[in-house]
Structure 1
Amino acid sequence: MKKRIQKHINKEEYVKIYICDKDGTSITNFNGYIHEQDKNFLLMSTDYDFFYNGTVVIRKEDISEIKRTENEQFIQKIMEKEGLKNVIFERNKSLNFHLDSYENMFQTIREMQIPVIIEALYGNDDRFQIGPVASCNNKHVKINYFNARGEYDLKPVSCKYKEITHFTIDSKYALLYYKYSKFID
């Protein structure tokens, strides 16, 4: 899989990635461009209806399929003709976020002072946690969670790294909620 992923990175190809749990049950999928990989993760800019939708970190062990069919090729043509691919690659460059250990990635996000969306979707657990990183160590991250009304929980919520299905930074959704949640008393 490493060579195939690297080929998509080198050729800047638009792909669709499916992830599943340890039992092979499909969890979700992502569309976009892979920018980087290491032994454990890949870093991908995603899109929604042709527009940049944030940067996601996915565990490689959860990937069940990487598609590059005629559909993805056609979408890439549209993205290129509309200049949207360049926008996505420029945004990735300006973020200057790179793969590392969970602890180091969450520390970087904390230093960037941007919110993160953490999803834990394995088994019966179905958690969506959003907010800025409060702290992290080598086993878990704590975030200052805010709800759909922009209200912060009194205490940071914790998520163990082994429970994380994927996490997203720089999504318009999270950034807008974060912007307005700061001002709510």
Structure 2
Amino acid sequence: MRVTSTVIPEVLILEPKVFGDDRGFFMESFNQKAFDEIVGRHVGFLQDNHSRSRRGVLRGLHYQIQQPQGKLVRCVRGAVFDVAVDIRKSSLTFGQWVGVELSEDNHRQLWVPEGFAHGFLVLSEYAEFLYKTTDFYAPVHERCILWSDSDLAIAWPSVGIEYTLSDKDACANRLADAQLFE
């Protein structure tokens, strides 16, 4: 597995070795021992999620203020622009973001640790997105930061149509008004 650091040291791009031929391909998408070595600690995953969305759907920026979820994310069909935002007030990278294209072709995965808001934009006609989480979904603790907050200045790519958001995501708090991690 190739590991690439990002401008936020805790957020990592993981690229598994892919073995392909005229029949297709094989890759090991997750190995607990290898993953723990990569992040330098044991990370237990408790839940797997799968979403399907059409071009222009923007989901996020989501996090749970209690029962925070670390997420290992990947796109298995189509392509997305995936974003992690550091919302730990005591962090040297507070308010900074990382954006990475994840696709069925590049097989990349992104490790988004606890203490980060997460979101993605679908770039292809459709995308299927899988992610493992370190804690269970707890709707009462879910929070959302506005995807277009000018203080974050996330460079979301154009997809040729207007973005589609849920009501919750469209009305999210700006970073300055959000409940954050210390």
**TM band (smaller chain):** under 0.3
Work out which structure has the larger RCO, using CA pairs closer than 8 Å and 6 or more positions apart in sequence: 2
TM-score, normalization by structure 2: 0.27
Instruction: Give the helix-richer structure, 1 or 2.
Output: 1
TM-score, normalization by structure 1: 0.27
